[in-house]
Amino acid sequence: MMEEQVNDNTIQLIDKVNETFEFYISNLQNYTYMIANNDEVQQFLETSEIDPAVLSDNKYEIQRFLRDFTAVSSEVAGGIMVVNHKGDYISNELYAPSVMELTEASWYQEAVNNQGIFKIIGRPMERRLNSIVDYQNDDVVTVVRAINDPFTEEVQGVVLIDLKLRVIAETVKDVTLGKSGYLMVMDDNGNNIYQLPNPFWIKCH
């Protein structure tokens, strides 16, 4: 009876975490499509040479557009970045070292290799992006998606969004796993996304 009860509790726990995580991930996936289809973003991605004055106005409008997502979505940590195929980027809160070629970054390449399909990176280790707000790479899960030209299928750029790990913590904060139990959320590469101290593995695709 005790074993059956533990199994039931474990299944309920897994279902709860999966449902919550998939809800937030689904939201982020929708955000990447909305960002990719924004007129100003499309202009930034498609135009090879932009007049500096036009680029400045375009950048301001895109930044304001990106900030709207963080204002209404509690799951977004703040960091949203759009990178075009030349390595130029626009972000509301993230910035990269001037010597860094973003198109060579592992997360950019993972998005490109996924051919426009939404991708969960997991904890964004060694991505060398910084935030102007108070959060670290260990505080978030990064999701990316390549933006492809609908006619040529060529990569126009990549959208990156940071998801707060806190939303996972909130899901499992009331979970009691006993003295030796712990919960680990893993991405499809086997990387640890979140672990509740105190073995359950939940694999997120």
Q: What is the mean pLDDT of the chain?
A: 79
pLDDT at 36: 92
- Position 49 scores a pLDDT of 59
> In this predicted structure, what is the pLDDT of residue 178?
57
Per-residue pLDDT tens digits for 51-100: 665 567 788 889 999 989 888 887 887 789 999 998 889 998 888 877 67
Phi, psi of 75 (to 5 degrees): -80, -20
194: number of Cβ within 10 Å: 22
pLDDT of residue 136: 65
pLDDT band at 50 (very low <50, low <70, confident <90, very high): low
DSSP, residue by residue, 135-198: --GGGEEEEEEEEE-TTT--EEEEEEEEEETHHHHHHHTT----SS--EEEEETTS-EEEEE--
Give the integer Cα–Cα distance in Å for 118 and 135.
Answer: 23
To the nearest 10 degrees (0 to 180), the angle between helices 52-72 and 39-46 is 130
Average pLDDT over residues 103-111: 90
Give mean pLDDT, residues 19-36. Answer: 88
3-state helix, strand, coil in the chain (%, to 5): 40, 25, 30
- pLDDT value at position 7? 75
CATH superfamily entry for domain 2-204? PAS domain (3.30.450.20)
User: How many other β-carbons are positioned within 10 Å of the β-carbon of residue 179?
Assistant: 5
The structural domains of the chain, with segments of one domain joined by +, span 2-204
